[in-house]
Structure formats: structure tokens, C-alpha cells
Amino acid sequence: MDERWIRRQWPYVHPGHTVSREESAKCTKFDDDWASYDAEMVEGASPSNKGIPAISRTDQLRSILTRLHLIGVARLVDRLARRLYSRGVNLLRRLARVPLIGPGLDRLLTKIDPRDRLNFELAELLRVCHALSDGDFTYWVAGGWGLDALVGSETRRHGDLDFVLHHFAEDLPKVSTLLRSLGYGHKPPLGGTVWFPQGEVYEDDKGHHIEVLNVNWGAPNLVETLRKETPGPDNQSFGAPGGKAPDLLAQFATTGELDGFAIPVLSLTAQRLFHSGYQQRPEDSHAHDIIRLLTSEHSLQSEHSNGELEYESRLGNPHSSTLLLIPIFTFPSDLVRLCKLHGNDLDLIPAHVTLAFPFLPLESVTAQVIDQLSTLFDETPAFDFALGRVQWFGTNVVYLEPSNSVFFRSITEALQRSFPAFHPYDDVFDAVIPHVTLSEHGTYGERRAVGRQALNYLPIVARASHVWLMSNERGPNEWSIVKIFQMGTTPIIPLNDQSA
């Protein structure tokens, strides 16, 4: 491994720094270990796992290339296969919008379209984490779920669960046995990354996907050594250069919270580092939004000595609008896909009940406004509701009607009392009707088809526990999270608390 490789991974390294032989040796040692480990795991993947479905020809080819250490070629094969598959699926999606043939293709897409079908639900995350915590394993949830745990609530649908196993070589066999007891089977690994050189993949017959990762603790220390000569405020220290894993744990591990349970997660420092050094994917834009939300860099307002917050444009127009909504993440994956087929992309903004739109101009959202909202929502108990009926606004909008609609109305009325400048929907409508939009796009026939097919997924049970403040500072139709408020206060329960 040479300096050119290192600089490809970390392009922000000071150009005048020379990589020493000792620094290069750290990564070279890891490379040798990773290569032998991957070959061993791929070699024994299939025959040792009875009852696991046979892998596809593409998987077999990737495994052979990985065994030969041709990771770049394996990834090229993977990208080509995904591209061909994606084009075929996109064609079927367009045809599925035709009312006469849509229902038949809908059933076909449900089986073959994993992007919209797979969803790693919060309940499954908690089930796996409960089992890991009961087994006294040292682990930290990473990736998107790790970020959500730092925020304290779900912020998007997740296709998988990533977690870092501290004592990887020692505990992996026991963790593998535990995951098998939960219904997961081992899949052939496909190389690794500079941060996570070793990773094992597990899936169950419901499409849940788990990656068990091993951190290259030498890489953060190498980055620190390379960055130490680079001036600037972003040069955050990760510990003394050359330090060992325990020196980094205090900065790289913390505790998050989801659904009232404490979750061991990678820290914000670790998440920021591990979201660099590789080619960014489309889904990473949301991760970077959440990282900005969790740091002062994301704040659209900066605190001054007088305690007031002054608007500071970072992303777009300072005269942007805001809205308040209650997100819903219990929509069945097939219903999410159905809505996306008909122009309602629930991966951009999840299914939700709107509380206030438009709320206030973003420049008017001061520290006092945030404090008022925090107090209002903290005094509003969380509540359960169900979506059980398909309704219409004329012939233009088909939606789901929530039960306990009086609770949603009471929140909107409380917002009106606290903020007289807020007028729901600019007073266009005589009354505010809580609703969850299914579709307002396409033809009337297409909207009717959505309404009919949505009946197959009802009722949908959900819980109002968080409120999002969102703004469209990037553009009229690009909404991003500014602040997340928790409704009511509930104690955080340790995962291994049997009384929970």
C-alpha cells in the first residue's frame, strides 16, 4: 500500500505531508489480514450453512472474484447487474401506473422489486439489539439506524442494519449463532471498505439484511497523523497518533435512544469520519443532512451573546417557508411503493399528518419560537392512532383518515393560539381535516386505483411521538428537517432490562 492509495481515500490530507514507512505499514498489515480473512470466509460460506437458499449466479461470480482478491472487478460486475435489473424494474413501474394492467404488475413488482419491498423496521432492530445486549456483546449500531438513534427518532425507511462488533474475531462465531437463532442465514461477504475491512452479511426469509462490521482502528489514527499538519477548524482530534482501540472508544462510542430504549451506537465523531473517504451514494445525502442536524454546521441559525438566534443562510433562500408534521413509519413497504409509483415519493418526505402548513417563514424561527414549540410538544402526550378509511378531497386528492383526529386538531389549534401569524393553509379552507395523502398526481383513474389497492393494507396502526419542523430552504419542493421535537417525556429503558 503506498501514499497514492492513502491520498485517494483521504483527499483532504495536507499535500506537503510525506507518508512514513510506519504509517504505510499499519494499513499494509490490515490489508494482508483482510485478504486472508475474506478468502477464508468466502471459501466456507456456502457449504457450512445448511438450509440457506442457493446463491445466484451473480453472487457466485462475485464470490469467485472476491476469493481471487479482484474486488474492483467484483464491484463492476455488481454494478452492471444492478443497472440491468434497475432498468427492467423501472419499465415495469411505468407500466404499473396503467389502471387496466397495473394490479397484475403490482403483484409481480412486489416479488421482484427489493428496493421498495425491503424495509428493516424499528421492531426488528429492537429485537436484534435486545438479543445482542442479552448476550453481553460489545457492539454499536452504525449507518442510518445509528444516526437515527443519535437523533432519538426514526428519520427514514431503512433497508438494512449495520453494527460494529468490538471483539470481532472472538465474538463473531457466537454472534453468528445468535443471528441464526433469530432466523438469519449467512451470506457470502463482498470485500470491505477502508473503515470496515471485514464484514459479514446475514439475511432472513423476510428480506431483512444485517451487516456485522469490524472497524479498522488503525485508519482513524493514520488519518489523525496525516491531518495534524493541515490547519483549519475541521481538524478534530481522534486521540494520540499511534493509539490503540481503547484510546478511541470514548470518542467513537456513545448511547442513543429509539422508542424509549437505550441503543449503543457510534458517536457523531465516528459517523462524520466514516461517511468520508469513499464514493458517495444517493442515500448518503440524507445521512449528511442528519449529521448537519446533529452538529452546529447544520444549524440554520447561530447563537449570539444576547441569546437570540439570527438567521444564517447555509443551504438556500433565507425567506423559505416551514411546516410541522407528525411522521409515520409503519406504512407497509408495498403501500410505500404503490404511492411512489403514482408520484408520492415517501422516501423524500415520509407518510405524515400535517399539523401546520405553511407555518412561519424560516427567518422568523428564532430561539424563542423553538423554545415555545419545545414546551408545547413536551406538554402534549404521545398517542396512538389508526389509518382505517380511504377518503377523498373532491376528486383531486385521495387520502387515509386517521382515528383520534381530535388530537391532531387540538395540536393545530394550540399552534394557532401560540403563534397568531400562523394561518393553516393560508385560510383557504374552512376547517382543517387531519389526513395522510396517498396521491394527488396523475389522472383520476390512477388515483382511484391507488385508493382501491390501499384498502388491502388497512388498518395501519401508528403512534404520534415526534413532530418535525421542516423547511424548503433548498428549493420549493425540497424539504429538509430543521428540528425534531419529542412529544411528552418518557424514561429511557436499557435494552437488557427484563422488566421492559
- DSSP per-residue codes, 17-60: PPPPHHHHHHHHHHHHHHHHHHHHHHHTTTTT-TTSPPPPHHHH
Per-residue model confidence (pLDDT) at position 105:
62
At 205, which amino acid appears?
D
264 and 306 together in one domain: no
Domain, as residue range, for 399: 299-486
**Does a structural domain hold residue 243?**
yes
C-alpha cell at 437: 395523502
352 and 255 together in one domain: no
The vertex-437 CA angle with 435 and 442, nearest 5°, equals 150
- The residue among 233, 263, 290 that closes a domain is 290
Per-residue model confidence (pLDDT) at position 218:
76
284 and 305 together in one domain: no
129 and 232 together in one domain: yes
Bridge partners, 123 (sequence order): none
In CATH, what number is assigned to the domain containing residue 408? 3.90.1140.10
Q: Looking at 135-191, list the stretches that DSSP marks H as alpha helix, in order from N- to C-terminal side.
A: 143-151, 168-181
CA nearest neighbour of 320 among 95, 478, 430, 124 = 478
**Does a structural domain hold residue 31?**
no
**Does a structural domain hold residue 108?**
no
**Does a structural domain hold residue 182?**
yes
Query: Cα separations (Å) of 50 from 43, 93, 124?
Result: 15, 36, 24
165 and 137 Cβ atoms separated by less than 8 Å: yes
Contacts with 32 (C-beta within 8 Å, 6 or more apart), sequence order: none
240 and 328 together in one domain: no
Q: What proportions of the chain, in percent to the nearest 5, are helix, strand and coil?
A: 40, 20, 40
266 and 316 together in one domain: no
The SS3 assignment for 336 reads helix
The SS3 assignment for 88 reads helix
286 and 181 together in one domain: yes
Per-residue model confidence (pLDDT) at position 95:
64
Q: Is the peptide bond before 358 cis (omega within 30 degrees of 0)?
A: yes
Count of structural domains, the chain: 2
- The residue among 246, 263, 290 that closes a domain is 290
254 and 282 together in one domain: yes
476 and 340 together in one domain: yes
**Does a structural domain hold residue 492?**
no
In CATH, what number is assigned to the domain containing residue 191? 3.30.460.40
> At 297, phi and psi to the nearest 5?
-65, -30
**Cell 389497492 maps to which residue?**
453
pLDDT tens digits for the chain (500 residues)? Answer: 444 434 444 443 333 444 444 444 444 344 444 333 333 333 333 333 333 344 456 566 656 656 665 666 666 766 777 677 667 666 766 666 566 555 666 666 666 655 555 589 999 999 999 999 999 999 999 999 999 999 999 999 998 999 999 999 999 999 999 999 999 999 988 667 778 888 999 999 888 999 999 988 777 665 665 455 444 444 444 443 344 445 567 788 999 999 989 999 999 988 988 887 666 666 677 888 898 888 854 444 444 334 444 444 444 465 789 999 999 999 988 888 888 888 888 888 999 999 999 999 999 999 999 999 999 999 999 999 999 999 999 999 999 999 999 999 999 999 999 999 999 999 998 889 999 999 998 889 889 989 999 999 999 999 999 999 999 988 888 899 999 999 986 555 565 554 44
CA pair distance 15, 217, nearest whole angstrom? 24
**Does a structural domain hold residue 4?**
no
Per-residue model confidence (pLDDT) at position 83:
73
Per-residue model confidence (pLDDT) at position 334:
82
**Does a structural domain hold residue 412?**
yes
Per-residue model confidence (pLDDT) at position 235:
44
264 and 129 together in one domain: yes
CA nearest neighbour of 399 among 350, 357, 348, 434 = 434
- The residue among 267, 290, 313 that closes a domain is 290
215 and 164 Cβ atoms separated by less than 8 Å: yes
Per-residue model confidence (pLDDT) at position 388:
95
266 and 345 together in one domain: no
284 and 324 together in one domain: no
CA pair distance 196, 211, nearest whole angstrom? 11
**Does a structural domain hold residue 12?**
no
